Structure 1
Amino acid sequence: MIPNSPGAGKRDAQTHDKITYVRQMLGELRGVASDEGADMLCYLIEMAFVEAGDILSGKRHLSFANGERNKAAGMPVKPSGKIQF
């Protein structure tokens, strides 16, 4: 987690809220992917959902120390525009 520093408790609460939000959105996305029959996408979303749950429960740290993890590819992700169902 975040080391003891001024304001660390507030940051921890904000981080918890954000991860909770991400997990909720992943649950909703999983339903959309399932409705469309996107099995691989469902699997990947489920893995992210489990990861978020593990972070919230304390089973897994938010991230590892610098140098001990693979960095994200940094691929730009742009919204495709309005979503139509």
Structure 2
Amino acid sequence: MFDTRPRDKKTHRRVFDTHPRDKKTHRRVFDTHPRDKKTRLRVFDTHSRDKKTHRRVFNTRPRDKKTRRRCSELR
């Protein structure tokens, strides 16, 4: 018999109630209706987030001196 356990719509990975996060991307994985896809992507987004503020953190590695200066000013 083939596996009938629920799967994630997007990645088609198995979804477990006990461990709702996807091991690879650490994204929450739930079997949802396609209509809820927008909200699902908004809520369980894969961006790395700041620990304190929980805001999205982007890769801000300075490429040159000018950018480095700008980054330090932003800090």
Shorter-normalised TM-score: what interval?
under 0.3
Ranked by relative contact order (alpha carbons within 8 Å, sequence separation 6 or more), the top structure is 1
Between structure 1 and structure 2, the one with the greater Rg is 2
TM-score (norm 1): 0.23
